C-alpha cells in the first residue's frame, strides 16, 4: 500500500504557475477582443446605416483663402471635410425650410430626390468671376437666351438657351425684382428628373468667396424666401467678411 501511494504521488505534479499565467492572459485577450469586436461592429453598423451622414453638431472652422467659415459637422456634406483647417472648397447641405443639417427626424428627406425635395446643396469656393449670376444676366445671359419665355411659378419665366450657347438641356429661370433679377439655371428633360437638385444659382459672399447653391425645381415657387434664407445662412457661417448682397 505504501508503495502504491508513493507511486501515485509521483504522478501528481503541481500546476506550473507560469502556465496558469499564460492561460489567464489568453482568456483576458479573448475578452478584450470580444469587446472590441462588439464595439466595432456597432460603430461600423451605425456608420453604414448613416450612409455618410452624421448628426454630430461639433463646429469646425474651415479656411478658404482669406475667409473663415464655422460650420457644424452635420451640415458638412462629405466626411473627409469634417475637420478644422484649410480647404480649397467646402460642400454643405441643408434641409428646407428650417435650414438645418442632417438629423434623425429629417433623414428621409436627405435620402430622397424628386421635385418635392427639401435638400439644398451649397458649395463655397474662391471667387472666379467679378459678378454673380444675377450680375451676369445683362452682359452675358441676355445674349444667350431666346427672348420669348414660358411662364413659371411666382413670376418666374423660363427661357431656352440659343442652340450655339453651349447650355444643352438647360433653361434660364428669371424673375424680375428691384435691382438685378433673380437668375438660376435649371436642367430639363430626363436629366432633371433624375437629379436631386436640378436648379443652380450663385452668389458672392465673404471677402472673396463664391457660393453656388443647388435646389429642387419645386423650390422655384419660393425663390424669394429661398434666396434670402441661403444668404442669411451663409452670413451666419462666415466669421470673416460680409456677404455682398
Residue 1 maps to a domain:
no
Please report whether residue 8 resides in a domain: no
Q: Judging by beta carbons within 10 Å of its beta carbon (0-12, 13-18, 19+), is residue 139 exposed, middle or buried? A: exposed
Residue found by looking up cell 452635420 in the block:
74
Q: Are residues 141 and 35 in the same domain?
A: no
Distance CA 89, CA 69 (A): 11
**Regions of the chain short of the pLDDT cut 70:** 1-50, 113-115, 241-245
Q: Give yes or no: residues 77 and 172 share one domain.
A: yes
What's 238's DSSP letter?
B
Are residue 42 and residue 95 in the same domain, yes or no? no
Sequential DSSP letters for 75-140 = GBSSGGG-SSEE-S-EEEEEETTTTB---GGGHHHHT--STT--EEEEEEEE--SSS-TTTTTTTT
Q: Report if residue 113 sits inside a domain.
A: yes
Tell whether 125 and 34 lie within a shared domain.
no
Rounded to whole angstroms, the Cα distance separating 48 from 60 reads 23
Dump pLDDT digits (tens) for 127-159: 999 999 999 999 999 999 999 999 999 999 999
Same domain, 140 and 117: yes
Backbone phi, psi, residue 112, to 5°: -130, 140
204 domain residue, yes or no: yes
Strands 209-215 and 119-126: antiparallel
Q: How many CA atoms lie within 13 A of 216 on its CB side?
A: 21
Inside any domain, residue 97: yes
Is residue 124 in a domain?
yes
- pTM here is 0.79
Determine, yes or no, domain membership for 245: no
Same-domain status, 202 and 132: yes
Q: How far apart are CA 20 and CA 22, in angstroms?
A: 5
In a domain, 3, yes or no: no
Judgement on whether residues 139 and 101 belong to the same structural domain of the protein: yes
DSSP state of 144: T
* Domain tally, the chain: 2
Same domain, 38 and 73: no
Q: Are residues 160 and 125 in the same domain?
A: yes
What per-residue confidence (pLDDT) applies to 196? 87
Peptide bond into 231 cis (omega under 30): no
Domain extent, residue 88, equals 59-237
Measured CA distances, 137 to 88, 158, 199 (Å): 27, 14, 16
- Are residues 135 and 173 located together in one domain of the fold? yes
Angle at 225 between CA 110 and CA 217, to 5 degrees: 50
Give the pLDDT of residue 221.
97
Burial degree of 125 (CB within 10 A; 0-12, 13-18, 19+): middle
Q: Do 111 and 186 reside in the same domain of the chain?
A: yes
Query: Do residues 94 and 204 both lie within one domain?
Result: yes
pLDDT of residue 42: 46
Amino acid at each position: 500500500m505504501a508503495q502504491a501511494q508513493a507511486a501515485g504521488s509521483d504522478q501528481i505534479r503541481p500546476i506550473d504557475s507560469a502556465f496558469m499565467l499564460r492561460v489567464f492572459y489568453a482568456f483576458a485577450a479573448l475578452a478584450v477582443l470580444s469587446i472590441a469586436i462588439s464595439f466595432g461592429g456597432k460603430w461600423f453598423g451605425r456608420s453604414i446605416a448613416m450612409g455618410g451622414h452624421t448628426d454630430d453638431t461639433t463646429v469646425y472652422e474651415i479656411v478658404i483663402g482669406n475667409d473663415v467659415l464655422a460650420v457644424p459637422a452635420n451640415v458638412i456634406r462629405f466626411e473627409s471635410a469634417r475637420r478644422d483647417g484649410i480647404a480649397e472648397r467646402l460642400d454643405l447641405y441643408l434641409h428646407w425650410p428650417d435650414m438645418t443639417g442632417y438629423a434623425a427626424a429629417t433623414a428621409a428627406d436627405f435620402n430622397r430626390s424628386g421635385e418635392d425635395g427639401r435638400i439644398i446643396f451649397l458649395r463655397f469656393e474662391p471667387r472666379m468671376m467679378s459678378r454673380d449670376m444675377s450680375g451676369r444676366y445683362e452682359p452675358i445671359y441676355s445674349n444667350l437666351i431666346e427672348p420669348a419665355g414660358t411662364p413659371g411659378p411666382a413670376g418666374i419665366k423660363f427661357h431656352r438657351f440659343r442652340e450655339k450657347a453651349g447650355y444643352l438641356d438647360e433653361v434660364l429661370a428669371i424673375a424680375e425684382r428691384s435691382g438685378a433679377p433673380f437668375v438660376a439655371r435649371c436642367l430639363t428633360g430626363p436629366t432633371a428628373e433624375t437629379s436631386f437638385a436640378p436648379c443652380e444659382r450663385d452668389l458672392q459672399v465673404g471677402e472673396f468667396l463664391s457660393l453656388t447653391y443647388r435646389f429642387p425645381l419645386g423650390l422655384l415657387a419660393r425663390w424669394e424666401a429661398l434666396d434670402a434664407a441661403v444668404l442669411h445662412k451663409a452670413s451666419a457661417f462666415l466669421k470673416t467678411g460680409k456677404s455682398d448682397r
